[in-house]
Structure 1
Amino acid sequence: MPSMRIFVATVYGGALDVAELSQPLCEQAGFQVNILEEPELEDLVNAPPDIALFCISTTGSGDFPGNFMRFADNMANQLPDLSHQRYGLIAMGDSSYDTFCGAGRKLDNVLQQCGAQRIGERLEIDASRTPMADDEALPWIESWLPIARESLQ
């Protein structure tokens, strides 16, 4: 059974809600899923999952939430070889700010600098249009999962 780790960057729990509601869908698609609320870079680099899914909120001026700062800083500083890694990314933000989905966009950029291969398009959820992020995230997950499975072939 292929493995999936869901890496969560959250301030008020919205990204964690998305991760927890996505987990059963991912398991039904045949993945063994672990949610990481306090991720470390080693969770991605040492014994990497077959697929990584990032649920990332933006805080401040396009910043990563506190629980994700060490992960993001270590990745940006070390730029590990992630050419073997496939991933999906759900970015959450508020378009009334200039830094809309800034953390998710930054992470996507660094992952690609490290050679990781994004599966499908990055989902950007706008809190000013979609107060309940899962309303947008779950349909995206359902359409993303077949592509994720296919990428493992």
Structure 2
Amino acid sequence: MVKGSFSDETLYAVNVDRAWNAFVIDAHNLLPKILPDIISQAVIVEGDGGIGTVYNIDFTQAVSEFRFVKHKVVGLDSDCYKIEDAVVDGGYIGSRLKSYIFVQKFEEKFEEEGEGSTVVKLTVEYETLDEKPLSVEEQKELIEQVNVFRKAIEGYLQAHPTAYV
């Protein structure tokens, strides 16, 4: 087994409070509504949204790699806009990875004109099942999967300027 990590930063054209509320706090309700072709349901299995909360996301046939992903909130700091989610079942667990954690930090970025934007700094910490680290292509695939959901939420927030204020 090999332990590793990689990082990414993405800019979203919504302020940090709205991004945090939609991307983190209410994503389990919002994602099935805005991506019904990809997500059939997302539910809280255990907990109240804080540390220890377990979410299960079931995917439609459009996702061929896996049918579901279950993740647990292992770190949460709403004041600093930081969340750590450990994938505990589904996803790439058992196929390529033994474990993986998404560490996300949301930071406000103010532009000279208009409303602020949000930079999301993502670090993925992982442990493989074999003796090979994730390839650059595998890393990009994981980041892209996360960004698909975030870009859909960003589009929703831009189209609904009073949502999640």
**TM-score, structure 2 length as denominator?**
0.32
**TM-score, structure 1 length as denominator?**
0.33
More helix by share: 1
Q: Relative contact order (C-alpha < 8 Å, sep 6+): which is higher?
A: 2
More strand by share: 2
